Structure 1
């Protein structure tokens, strides 16, 4: 049909799509990496790739991806701590903010951006964004829980055929030393977390 296909990138915190790259034609044919780049910023949006000292990195060097522009969210509802750690002052534009994505990326020689992975504990399982730190925080607040950690794993590697077979698992240590009521704890988690973030 001749309709162009584009790879769009963007987190919820920045109005979903903030960059684009052609996923067909000569641009796609020129890709030398293992995936389609996330590309160039859309109108009214900026992409910054910075090192740990908040300095811009040269093309080809991996760094942390930050987003700028008017489309940034105000923050996280009821989570001023998370808002303060993710939405920070833009050192290159006084009075402006930028969003720390947690993604690692690099500039390509054509000015596009290539996504390389994550620098934090966020992951995606079957297209759903998972914040392991948020799960850990909620589990740690459950009754009689001294320590908690979540993890994504494949239970039966032999049966894992195609798709994403990972499942969330929660590990809890009882504060009292008594066995925990897992059914009651899962019910409490279901009250505080979306279904895709409740460990099995």
Structure 2
């Protein structure tokens, strides 16, 4: 599909940032040359790590991995080295693409490291024969937080990506559009940004690597004339509150990863005529978006904001605890079937059998059990009601508290721990760790955070630590998270990632 775009729009701009710009023909040429190097290094047909930040070179690398017949595994350079090493080991990566600067900073993570700032200069200019691929072949592997204390590796196919990025009815993607690539590569919103642009002939603008928050967002959006972008719910709320004019060029604004505030959506719609705001919902296991709710007028918003209807190729099921489809208005677990359902967890048959089940009425098709509680509204759209387990979303990241708790209780000063998400300010949740200390121990937060940061990425580090004499428990002996006290958000005690 990408080759079709190259043939039809070779001179159109494919990807750019503040320093460089590539046409579709140039992007294709560079990716093909790099694919030959990857194939020569034994990267064909397997998984290849991509240890890179945001840049046009990263887009070249992703395309090159796919051209070589492999699947890419995003490795975030900001992650602790121990976590990167675990991801490399889990996927059996022998080849990792990076740059000399990142490699020097992170250190050796694989047996074979290809430094792109050296490899691209030496890449052969000849024609590389691309291997045959099937729609069901893996395109990428993405890690999410795991209930066992270890991250889970989700394998997503070419077919999954094509279903998300082409023929979309939740957003208009065409050669006339300019899409911002802002999400980290290890976050599945990047799938929509990158392939939604490149498979539709749009212009992809890569945000500066140091653009972490909203302060400079307006400059980037105006300078590159961005009209389509995705934001986490927390960042969307913050920009609406602090710098709504920054969004002026954006006519298609997608947001999600957590519950959207109806008031903020209405304010974003009122600020620009012709703007559409889309509430996008979907687990990584079902390829970024499974259902969406488009809003163009205040009347479309609703309260609470619904998560909407299935995107093309996707089927949604609201299932009761008895395993039957729920009636309209009845709460139930959301099951997702159709073309977005991924290949599953890498080398984890037990978790695959638990979460990927036969789809109702389609015994040969699989559905993913989300663990999310929803109900069907009178207008046919879905309303999110909460979780059936302890999983939570913070700043768009899916977090299993068990993973953070496991890292906490490894510390010799901590006897027991519970982690939950508490609202820091309207529409912005932060992780809070509740700790029972070992006898005679004291809490030294900076030292604790340094220890945790060697094992956990920044989004899994608690923003607040609360010491308790004991953790509240339910009648069946489990931690009663609802009974945990809401912390006082004193600036001096809140720790930013």
Q: Same fold (TM over 0.5)?
A: yes
Q: Is the 8 A contact 1:47 1:65 kept in 2?
A: yes
278, 291, 295: which one pairs with 1:19? 291
**Which SS does the other structure have where 1:29 is aligned?**
helix
Mapped to 2, the partners of 1:60 and 1:180 lie a distance apart of 50
Structure 2 residue 125 is the aligned partner of structure 1 residue 125:
no
Alignment of 1:62-141 (within 5 A): 62-77=331-346, 81-140=350-409
Q: Is the 8 A contact 1:23 1:36 kept in 2?
A: no
1:138 CA drift (Å): 3.8
RMSD between superposed Cα atoms in Å: 3.0
Query: What is the match of residue 179 of structure 1?
Result: 441
C-alpha spacing 1:163/1:70, structure 2 compared with 1 (3 Å): closer
Query: What is the match of residue 9 of structure 1?
Result: 281
**Which SS does the other structure have where 1:134 is aligned?**
helix
Query: What is the match of residue 157 of structure 1?
Result: none
1:20 CA drift (Å): 1.9
Query: What is the match of residue 197 of structure 1?
Result: 460
1:82 CA drift (Å): 4.2
Mapped to 2, the partners of 1:55 and 1:137 lie a distance apart of 35
Query: What is the match of residue 430 of structure 2?
Result: 166
1:98 CA drift (Å): 1.4
Structure 2 residue 299 is the aligned partner of structure 1 residue 29:
yes
Mapped to 2, the partners of 1:64 and 1:136 lie a distance apart of 26
**Which SS does the other structure have where 1:96 is aligned?**
strand
Unaligned runs of 5+ residues in structure 2 are: 1-272, 465-497
1:44 CA drift (Å): 1.1
Q: Which of 1 and 2 has higher RCO (CA within 8 Å, sep 6+)?
A: 1
1:30 CA drift (Å): 5.9
Larger radius of gyration: 2
Q: Which moved more, 1:70-79 or 1:42-51?
A: 70-79
C-alpha spacing 1:6/1:143, structure 2 compared with 1 (3 Å): closer
Higher helix share: 2
Structure 2 residue 45 is the aligned partner of structure 1 residue 45:
no
Higher strand share: 1
Matched length: 189
Mapped to 1, the partners of 2:361 and 2:416 lie a distance apart of 40
